[in-house]
C-alpha cells in the first residue's frame, strides 16, 4: 500500500492565497507542486492518493480539509493512513499540527464498489499571529490592562436571536445572559443599527437588602459582604481596570472569505462590561432613612435588588453593514505576561467564534405569525389588587394631593398570567407586537425579563448625561392623517402637558445633582415620538458630569425617574410603600449596561414581563438540561399617574390597557409556538 498527497492546483484561485506572511509557505508549496510519499504504509501495490482541497485561516489556527481518494475502493477507511497524511501536510506546509478539527472523518462512498472511496478530514495547524497585531497588542498593554480582540463576520446567515440560541441552549434558562435589540421611533420605524448578545459572564454581583454576593466564575470563587450601598462594589472592581483601544483599522476591514482577526476600535466597545438590572428598590440604598427596607411592601418573590454580570464575551451586530463583531475582552491581570494574555485571548475568541459560526446551528421553533395582534383580547386573569382595592388607593392618593402633600403619584398593580409559552418565545412575539427602542431578553438570577421599553432611565456618553422624560400618551391613528389629528389633541391636552412639564422639572433636578454648574439644558421640549401602538410626548434633558463623579453616581441620582414615582419624588415613594401591596421588583427600575470605559445606557423597566424562575441566586450557575416545556407565571405590571382630577375607574382601565399590550405578546406566542 502506498500513499501520495499533493496540494490541489485549484487553490490558486481561492481568496486564502492572497493572505500575506502566514500563508506564503502554502503558496510556495503549491507552486512547486510539493508531493510527499509515505513508505510507512507500504504493504502492497495499491496507491492511495490524497489532495489538499481547501485551506481556511483564522488568527490562531490554520485549518485544512484533506480529501483522500482511495483506489481501489476498500470496504472501510484504513485509519492507519492518518499518520502519513499528517506527516505529508507537515512537511509540505511547515506548520506544526495540533489536532483534528472534527472527531472522525466524513466518508462519502459511491454505490459502486469499483468507484473511489472519498474521505474528507479536517486538521488544525498552529498559525503564528501576524506580527503587526502582536505589536499593537503589546504596545496597548503598556497603557491599559483590558484590551479587546474581535473577529468580524458576515451576518447575512446569522441573526441576533439565532446567535443568542447558539450561546445559550433552550434549556439553560437559569444561565445569566442577555439579548439587546432596538427599533427606532419615527414616522417610519426602523431597526436600530446595533444589537448585542452576551452569555456566560466571568463575574456576577447579586445584591439583596445590603447583602452582596460576588461570584467569580473564572476562579470558581464565591464571597459575601455587607454593603450600605452595593453599587460601590462593581465600581470598586472596575476601577482597577483601564481599557485600551486601538485607533487603527486595516483597509480590508472585513474580507470576502475569512475576516482577519484584529484589535477592536469601534464604538461598540462601550457595550462590554456590567450588564443586568437595578430594581425599583435600589433607591432604598440611597434614601436609607426615609425609604428603609423595613417599611417596604411585602416581598413575595424574593428577587434580587440588583443583578449584574461582567461580560467579557459579546457579539455586536451592525445591521447597516450586515456584520457581526465577535468580541473578547482580555484582562491582563489574569496572566503573567502580555504574550500569554494574547495567546489565550485569541484561543478564547476562536472558541466563541466556533460556537456562533459552526456548521451545525440550533433549531429555532417555527411559528406562524397572526398579524392582527390588536384583535387579541387581554387575558388578565389575576392582579395583586382587586379593582376596588386599586380604586381606593387612587382615592387615598388624591387626598394627599388635595392636602398639598404631593403633586402627582404613580400607582401600579401587578397582573399575573399563566402560560406554556417559553419566555424566549414570548420575547420573539413581543418583537412583533410591540417593537420599541429597548427590546430586551435578560436571564437574571431568579427571573427572566422580557421587555420592550420606550424610554431611557439615564445615559452617560463621554461624560454627557442624558435623561428623556416620556409622559403623555395617545393611541396611534389608522392613517397618517389620523396621527396628525391625534398628535394635536395630545399637545392641547392641558392635563397631560402639565404632567409632562412637571416631570421635565424632576429630570432637570436629577441631572443637576451630578452635573457641572450651568451645564444643564433642556435640549428638546415636548416632541412627539411615535411607536407601534401609541404616541408619547418626549423631552430631553442633558448635563455635563462633574469631574469627581462617575456613571454610578448618575444612576443613584436618577433612580427611580419621576415618570414611575411622582413629585416630589421621595414623598411620592413613601406613599407608594403605603398604597401598593407588594414590592415592585424589576418593574420601574432599570436594565442595561455600564461599560469598562465608564459610559452607561440604562433603560426604564416599563412594558416589562417578569418570569420568576424560582432559582437560587447565590450559587454558581451551571448549564444543564431541564424540562423543555413547562408552565410559566408571567408578571405584567403597569401603573397610572394620579393627579387631583383623576377618575379611579379611568386609572384602573389605564393599567389594564398597558398590561394588555404585553398580554398580546403572550397570546401570539401561545398561538404561534404552543397551540400546534
Catalytic site positions: 536, 563, 587, 607, 641
Q: What is the dihedral of CA 576, 581, 584, 585, to 10 degrees?
A: 130
**For residue 388, with 0-12 CB atoms within 10 Å meaning exposed, 13-18 middle and 19 or more buried, which class applies?**
exposed
In 476-583, beta strands by DSSP E: 521-530, 534-544, 566-567
Cα distance between residue 464 and residue 386, in whole Å: 44
Cα distance between residue 665 and residue 379, in whole Å: 11
Tell me if 151 sits within 8 A of 133, measured CB to CB. Answer: no
Tell me if 239 sits within 8 A of 295, measured CB to CB. Answer: no
Cα distance between residue 461 and residue 468, in whole Å: 14
Write down the residue that cell numbers 402627582 correspond to: 408
CA-based nearest residue to 179, from 366, 373, 448: 448
CA-based nearest residue to 500, from 461, 465, 455: 455
Cα distance between residue 56 and residue 63, in whole Å: 5
What is the crossing angle of helices 338-356 and 160-167, to 10°?
110
Cα distance between residue 52 and residue 68, in whole Å: 8
Tell me if 331 sits within 8 A of 130, measured CB to CB. Answer: no
Cα distance between residue 543 and residue 516, in whole Å: 7
Cα distance between residue 312 and residue 349, in whole Å: 10
Cα distance between residue 670 and residue 386, in whole Å: 26
Cα distance between residue 409 and residue 564, in whole Å: 8
Cell of residue 157, nine digits: 446567515
| Contacting residues for 139 by C-beta, under 8 A, at least 6 apart | none
CA-based nearest residue to 539, from 527, 530, 549: 527
Q: Please state whether 466 falls in left (phi above 0), alpha (psi between -120 and 50) or beta.
A: beta
Asked, as a colleague might, if the bond just before 560 is cis with ω within 30 of 0, I would say yes
Cα distance between residue 210 and residue 593, in whole Å: 21
Tell me if 570 sits within 8 A of 246, measured CB to CB. Answer: no
Cα distance between residue 652 and residue 512, in whole Å: 34
Tell me if 183 sits within 8 A of 437, measured CB to CB. Answer: yes
Cell of residue 629, nine digits: 416545556
Cα-based angle 563, 567, 569 (whole degrees, multiple of 5): 85
Write down the residue that cell numbers 420575547 correspond to: 427
Tell me if 610 sits within 8 A of 384, measured CB to CB. Answer: no
CA-based nearest residue to 264, from 278, 279, 248: 248
Torsion angles phi and psi, residue 300, rounded to 5: -85, -5
Cell of residue 640, nine digits: 397610572
Cell of residue 447, nine digits: 427571573
Which SS3 state, helix, strand or coil, does residue 23 take? helix
What is the crossing angle of helices 569-579 and 387-402, to 10°?
150
Amino acid at each position: 500500500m502506498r500513499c501520495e498527497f499533493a496540494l490541489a492546483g485549484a487553490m490558486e484561485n481561492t481568496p486564502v492565497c492572497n493572505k500575506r506572511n502566514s500563508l506564503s509557505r502554502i503558496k510556495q508549496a503549491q507552486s512547486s507542486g510539493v508531493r510527499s510519499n509515505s513508505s510507512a504504509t507500504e504493504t502492497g501495490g495499491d496507491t492511495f492518493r490524497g489532495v489538499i482541497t481547501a485551506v481556511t485561516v483564522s488568527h490562531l489556527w490554520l485549518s485544512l480539509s484533506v480529501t483522500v481518494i482511495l483506489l481501489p475502493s476498500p470496504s472501510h477507511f484504513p485509519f492507519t493512513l492518518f499518520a502519513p497524511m499528517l506527516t505529508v501536510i507537515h512537511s509540505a506546509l511547515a506548520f506544526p499540527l495540533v489536532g483534528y478539527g472534527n472527531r472522525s472523518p466524513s466518508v462519502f462512498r459511491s454505490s459502486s464498489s469499483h468507484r473511489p472511496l472519498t474521505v474528507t478530514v479536517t486538521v488544525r495547524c498552529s498559525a503564528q499571529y501576524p506580527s503587526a497585531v502582536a505589536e499593537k497588542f503589546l504596545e496597548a498593554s503598556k497603557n491599559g490592562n483590558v484590551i479587546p480582540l474581535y473577529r468580524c463576520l458576515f451576518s447575512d446567515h446569522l441573526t441576533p436571536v439565532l446567535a443568542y440560541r447558539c450561546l445559550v441552549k433552550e434549556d439553560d434558562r437559569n444561565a445569566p445572559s442577555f439579548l439587546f435589540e432596538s427599533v427606532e421611533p419615527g414616522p417610519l420605524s426602523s431597526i436600530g443599527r446595533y444589537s448585542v448578545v452576551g452569555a456566560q459572564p466571568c463575574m456576577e454581583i447579586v445584591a439583596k437588602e445590603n447583602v452582596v454576593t460576588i461570584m467569580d466564575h473564572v476562579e470558581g470563587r464565591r464571597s459575601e459582604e455587607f454593603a450600605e450601598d452595593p453599587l460601590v462594589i462593581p465600581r470598586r472592581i472596575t476601577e482597577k481596570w483601564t481599557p485600551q483601544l486601538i485607533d487603527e483599522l486595516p483597509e480590508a476591514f472585513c474580507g470576502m472569505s475569512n475576516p482577519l482577526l484584529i484589535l477592536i476600535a469601534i464604538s461598540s466597545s462601550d457595550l462590554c462590561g456590567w450588564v443586568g438590572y437595578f430594581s425599583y428598590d435600589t433607591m432604598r440604598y440611597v434614601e436609607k432613612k426615609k425609604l428603609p427596607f423595613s417599611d417596604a411592601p411585602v416581598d413575595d418573590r424574593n428577587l434580587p435588588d440588583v443583578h449584574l454580570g461582567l461580560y467579557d464575551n459579546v457579539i455586536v451586530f451592525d445591521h447597516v453593514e450586515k456584520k457581526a463583531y465577535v468580541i473578547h475582552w482580555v484582562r491582563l491581570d489574569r496572566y503573567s505576561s502580555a504574550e500569554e494574555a494574547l495567546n489565550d485571548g485569541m484561543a478564547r475568541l476562536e472558541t466563541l467564534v466556533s460556537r456562533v459560526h459552526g456548521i451545525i446551528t440550533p433549531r429555532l421553533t417555527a411559528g406562524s405569525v397572526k398579524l392582527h395582534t390588536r384583535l387579541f383580547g387581554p387575558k388578565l386573569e389575576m392582579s395583586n389588587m382587586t379593582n376596588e382595592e386599586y380604586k381606593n388607593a387612587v382615592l387615598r392618593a388624591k387626598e394627599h394631593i388635595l392636602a398639598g402633600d404631593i403633586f402627582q403619584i404613580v400607582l401600579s398593580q401587578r397582573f399575573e398570567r399563566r402560560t406554556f409559552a417559553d419566555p424566549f418565545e414570548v420575547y420573539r412575539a413581543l418583537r412583533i407586537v410591540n417593537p420599541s427602542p429597548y427590546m430586551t431578553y435578560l436571564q437574571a438570577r431568579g427571573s427572566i425579563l422580557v421587555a420592550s421599553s420606550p424610554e431611557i432611565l439615564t445615559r452617560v456618553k463621554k461624560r454627557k448625561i442624558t435623561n428623556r422624560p416620556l409622559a403623555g400618551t395617545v393611541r396611534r391613528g389608522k392613517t397618517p392623517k389620523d396621527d396628525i389629528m391625534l398628535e394635536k389633541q395630545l399637545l392641547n391636552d392641558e392635563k397631560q402637558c402639565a404632567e409632562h412639564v412637571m416631570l421635565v422639572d424632576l429630570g432637570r433636578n436629577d441631572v443637576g445633582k451630578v452635573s457641572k454648574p450651568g451645564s444643564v439644558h433642556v435640549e428638546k421640549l415636548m416632541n412627539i415620538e411615535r411607536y407601534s401602538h401609541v404616541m408619547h410626548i418626549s423631552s430631553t434633558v442633558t448635563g455635563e458630569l462633574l469631574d469627581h463623579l462617575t456613571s454610578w453616581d448618575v444612576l443613584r441620582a436618577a433612580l427611580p425617574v419621576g415618570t414611575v414615582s411622582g413629585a416630589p419624588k421621595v414623598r411620592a415613594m413613601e406613599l407608594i410603600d403605603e398604597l401598593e401591596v407588594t414590592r415592585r421588583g424589576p418593574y420601574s427600575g432599570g436594565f442595561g449596561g455600564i461599560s469598562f470605559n465608564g459610559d452607561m445606557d440604562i433603560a426604564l423597566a416599563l412594558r416589562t414581563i417578569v418570569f420568576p424562575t424560582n432559582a437560587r441566586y447565590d450559587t454558581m450557575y451551571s448549564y444543564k438540561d431541564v424540562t423543555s416545556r413547562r408552565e410559566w407565571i408571567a408578571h405584567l405590571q403597569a401603573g397610572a399617574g394620579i393627579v387631583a382630577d383623576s377618575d379611579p375607574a379611568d386609572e384602573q382601565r389605564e393599567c389594564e390597557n398597558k398590561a394588555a399590550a404585553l398580554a398580546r405578546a403572550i397570546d401570539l406566542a401561545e398561538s404561534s409556538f404552543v397551540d400546534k
